[in-house]
Amino acid sequence: QVQLVESGGGLVQAGGSLELSCTASGITFNTYDMAWFRQAPGKEREFVAVIDRWGYIQDADFVKGRSAINRDNNQNTVYLQMNKLKPEDTAVYYCAARRGVFGATYEYWGQGTQVTVSS
């Protein structure tokens, strides 16, 4: 059984930082691209960042300069370091995995971790 388990969410003040973690089991981790998505109240789920099996990173414009995605293949874990947090960053953050081949879709998802940023 494949499991993605997120942790690290919480309540922070605007301008603060959090590091989210997602640990995977049941997959050959170093063959998968790992990504973060988020969903705020009343909004659709949106892409945040992805780090592919080779370490190549793409991220959304709204996190550039504030967030960094990384992975540790020995720990089967992907991280999202978030700095200079804003109230509009408040959302449930989800970890997702896809096979590291061209055109693959995200087939595995975690349950999410809540991030709340107060003003």
Contacts of 2 (CB under 8 A, 6+ apart): 24, 25, 26, 27, 97, 108
Residue-level pLDDT at 9: 98
pLDDT at 73 exceeding the cut of 90 = yes
pLDDT at 69 exceeding the cut of 90 = yes
Helix and strand numbers (H, E) in the chain are 0, 11
Residue-level pLDDT at 64: 87
Q: How confident is the model at residue 117 (pLDDT cuts 50, 70, 90)?
A: very high
Q: Return the SS3 of 48.
A: strand
pLDDT at 15 exceeding the cut of 90 = yes
Residue-level pLDDT at 74: 97
Residue-level pLDDT at 38: 98
Q: What is the mean pLDDT of the chain?
A: 97
* Nearest Cα residue to 6 out of 30, 29, 37: 37
Residue-level pLDDT at 99: 97
Residue-level pLDDT at 98: 98
